[in-house]
Amino acid sequence: MNQNTKKLQDQGVSLWMDNISRQMLDDKELDRYINEFSITGLTSNPSIFDKSIGQTDYYDSAIARLNKPELNDEALFFELAIEDIQRAADAFLPVFHRTNGLDGFVSIEVSPLLAYDTESTLQSAKEIHRKVNRPNAFIKIPGTPEGVPAIEAAIAEGIPVNVTLLFSAEQYQAASMAYLQGIETRIKKGLNADVKSVASLFVSRWDKAVEDEAPENLKNKLGIAVAQKTYVAYLEFLKSSRVQRIMNFGTSPQRLLWASTGTKDPNASDILYIKNLIAPYTINTIPDKTLMAFADHGEIGTSLPDNTTAADKIIKQYADLSVDYAQLAEQLQKEGAEAFNKSWNNLINSISNKRSQL
């Protein structure tokens, strides 16, 4: 077992892969990540599936097999994706059991085209959850204003949810309250209160967004500052009386997940967002390249502070440069949804073209 990745695990950080492909499953590469690099979960999104399905020929035989008139292009995609998610979930099942259902999850996302449609998001989440039929599968729902009520309803239905596209402490708080209210609804109905959830904060896109405005002394610091601010909100959530009350009903509270942690600045450390986001009871999802970099020369930084003093100072310095924190958070969420929409459309078009060719 790699000692660098094990050190992260020893700090209370779960390390998840931000990637999936059928080739990874067929070649047993995922098993190697689990056994050698302490990987305890996996996430997917439209961009990942666009690369693995739309931009390779590895799925062509499966597309030909599923190429039936009754399946439209979107339905065929979900058939392919669900097969992969089920296999990955089965690979992580020993982790799921070893951690009493806390870890060992894989994630599949509802169509990003539904990001601003509450009811359709909920119905899609219920359908995908039913088809995947694995205890360790998260349904990813965006934390947009329209997605938040769908998150609450899905949790109340007993569907494990990975809240995606969060970019600020305030967006995180809205998602955590939706989760909490969903659990409280289950308690009132006398249902099992332990429905797992994670809330995914996107980090590196902050630094990418301000790279042209940032002076040298502030480069690649805004994303970590926002993460620190969100982590403090997370600590307040965990120690709140409402959360402690639901824990008394057998709930493992929603965890905070660091997403978009691959370094985008070629001049910065390739493990920047791994070594600086050390906090117990959190998850870090990383792409293959970042995982290999950390396994090779990883180091553990200091744990995130339990206050926002340093984070607020950096956010204030950016405000002095006319970077509005709240406004940029909203913009990044919209741009994130649009980027997933673009990947989704590319993916569906690729499947349509492959069906015609095959």
- What is the enclosing helix (H) or strand (E) of 100? none
Distances 257 to 46, 254, 273 between C-alpha atoms, Å: 18, 10, 12
Angle at 186 between CA 107 and CA 44, to 5 degrees: 5
**Catalytic residue among 7, 131, 140, 221, which?**
140
* Residue 179 near residue 151 (C-beta atoms within 8 A): yes
Q: Among this protein's residues, is 140 annotated catalytic?
A: yes
Q: What is the dihedral of CA 68, 74, 75, 77, to 10 degrees?
A: 90
110-114 long-range contacts (CB < 8 A, ≥24 apart) are 110/139, 110/140, 110/141, 111/74, 111/344, 112/46, 112/142, 112/337, 112/340, 112/341, 112/343, 112/344, 113/341, 113/344
Q: Which residues are catalytic?
A: 140
